[in-house]
Amino acid sequence: MRVLHVAAEVYPHVKTGGLADVVGALPVAQAHLGIDARLLLPGMPALRAALEAPRIVADVGPAFGAARVRLLQGRLARLDLPVWLIDAPLLYDRGGNPYHHADGSEWPDNLQRYGLLGWVATQLASGALDPDWAPDVVHAHDWHAGIACAYLSAHAATARSVFTVHNLAYQGLFPHQDAALLGLSSRFMSSAGLEFHGQLSFMKAGLKFADHITTVSPRYAKEMATPEFGHGLDGVVRARAGAVSGILNGIDTTVWNPAADPLLACRYDADSLEGKAQCKSALQAEAGLEPLQDAPLLLALSRLTHQKGLDLLLQALPGWLALGGQLVVQGSGDAALEQAFRDAAQAHPGQVAAFIGYDEQRAHRLVAGADLIAVPSRFEPCGLTQLYGLRYGTLPVVRHVGGLADTVQEASVERLDALEGNGFVFDQDDPGALLQALDRAARAWRNQDRRSTLQRVGMRQDHSWAAPARAFASLYGSLLQALPGIGSFRAAPPGGYRGG
């Protein structure tokens, strides 16, 4: 079975969030099952620099506003899988991140940048760009790749399409008057297609035209169909109800492994937890916190946005400090939240520390050194930080939404006795409810027997990519059985096509 993953990010080369971790791990796990999994990515500078033994597969020529587009193939370190990069310097060779300028504004040509990504995926699926390999399944990740599903539908491609929603809140919205830049017929631009409240939505393209839609947890698959969590697309999701499922994300347990992590002050595992205390001491020293082993150290490792509920944590902070706790935060995002955490660190030296920005290596030290990890999200498709916490014996405190509800169960005395509870959960979007959960967590943490039992329960749970990889393999197989191919195609891109 041949599967092409189409995405805008991949760990460790280009990363703005959990999407990169998924794209960097799921295809590798699928390869271990014997699937011929490969990647298509836009040629961001970091990816072009990391591509090993590149060769030119096709000279596309001018397309999507770029004067020169080429398709390169090679391999990326760590993945050991074939990777195609779209070499289009005018569209991709720039600073900032994949979606935004350094000042936070969106790139004005994102429609062309990710329209090209979807179009190239479709051409690969047809064999028009690389005659040596064509996928049976095109797996498009989030809005950046959603338009691939529309192109595949428009050209009656043989390959089946799977679209994974990583976060429905980010929808890839563009002016409707730019529709001609995509080269799709007008029927795709109606309300039955990409049109969304007078704009074009790449997220809606995936939802409408993929053969199957997945999202990153079973609960979020249900939440997307509700007005509360559907972000205006809940009706589209409900209309595709029979083609929507949730497959819980995993984590890369070769990267996140406290027994082998080279970034830690001391390694440890579920059978020997002593090293975690040394990691805590090292973190307190790094963060400038008082060296108190008996103070529960709480971590928030997150984008600083309204979605992530970090304002709730700020409101609960006085109560947490009154309980004798410490707090360390790493993240970036909303400027007001960034400043609020800086102010909190200045107001409470030795008790609160804030690292504004993101440092992947420090993230490992943070998760290993903290006692508790807070994920108070208002909505959370899956969440990975709570899984990192479980893996490192750092007890999660989460809101009962999305993938957080699927992965963290309240550690009541009864559940703990049955070795079922693994963290602490609150329901309401309210700082008081969060503080109550933090209080329960702190009391459990201060009980050495409960603490070690909880840590071992979480550390021994399997949150690897093995089970999700098998679930996707089963899904792909069912699509290939149920939907026979209808033919191949060859099409010119907006802007012209040469060779291939």
Domain range list for the chain: 2-250+466-482, 274-460
Given a contact cutoff of 8 angstroms between Cβ atoms, the answer to whether 377 and 399 are in contact is yes
Burial class (CB in 10 A: 0-12, 13-18, 19+), 182: buried
- Does residue 210 have a pLDDT over 60? yes
Q: What per-residue string of b and e applies to 224-235 under the rule 16 or more CB within 10 Å gives b?
A: bbeeebbbebbe
How much is the average pLDDT of 149-171?
Answer: 93
State the average pLDDT over residues 329-339: 95
List, in order, residues 6 or more apart from 17 with CB less than 8 Å away.
9, 303
pLDDT at 487: 36
Structure tokens at 149: 């599903």
- Which CATH code is given to the segment(s) 2-250+466-482? 3.40.50.2000
- CA 304 from centroid of its chain's CA atoms: 15
Roughly how many angstroms between the first and final C-alpha of the chain, as a whole number? Answer: 24
Q: What is the mean pLDDT of residues 145-152?
A: 97
Same CATH topology for 2-250+466-482 and 274-460? yes
pLDDT of residue 18: 87
What integer pLDDT is reported at residue 26 of this predicted model? 96
**Tokens 């001609």 identify what position?**
180
pLDDT at residue 420 greater than cutoff 80:
no
Higher pLDDT, 269 or 482: 269
Under the banding of pLDDT at 50, 70 and 90, the label for residue 157 is: confident
274-460 CATH choice from 3.20.20.80, 3.40.50.300, 2.60.120.200, 3.40.50.2000: 3.40.50.2000
Instruction: Check residue 315 and give its pLDDT.
Output: 98
- CA distances 5 to 8, 22, 41, 162, Å, are 10, 11, 9, 9
Q: What is the pLDDT of residues 345-384, one digit of tens each?
A: 999 999 999 999 989 999 999 999 999 999 999 999 999 9
Asked whether the predicted pLDDT for residue 486 surpasses 60, the reply is no
Q: Is the pLDDT of residue 499 over 60?
A: no
pLDDT for 80 equals: 86
* pLDDT level of residue 289 (50, 70, 90 thresholds): very high
Mean pLDDT for the stretch of residues 99-103: 84
CA dihedral 86, 37, 122, 141 (to 10 degrees): -80
pLDDT, tens digit (0-9, with 9 covering 90-100), for 257-283: 999 999 999 999 999 999 999 999 999
Report the percentage of the chain scoring pLDDT > 90: 86
Give the DSSP letter of residue 428: S
Residues 478-485: what's their mean pLDDT?
A: 74
Mean pLDDT of all residues belonging to the chain:
93
CA distance 28 to 253: 12
Beta-bridge mates of residue 398: 375, 425
Whether pTM > 0.95 for this model: the answer is no
Phi/psi region, residue 414 (left: phi>0; alpha: psi -120 to 50; beta: rest), is alpha
State how far the Cα of 150 lies from the Cα of 161, in Å rounded to an integer.
10
Q: Identify the CA nearest to 16 among candidates 404, 357, 284.
A: 357
Q: Phi/psi at 365 (nearest 5 deg)?
A: -65, -35
- pLDDT of 417: 62
Residue 328 bridge partners (DSSP): 299, 353
Please say if the pLDDT value at position 194 is more than 50.
yes
Residues 6+ apart with CB under 8 A from 36: 1, 2, 3
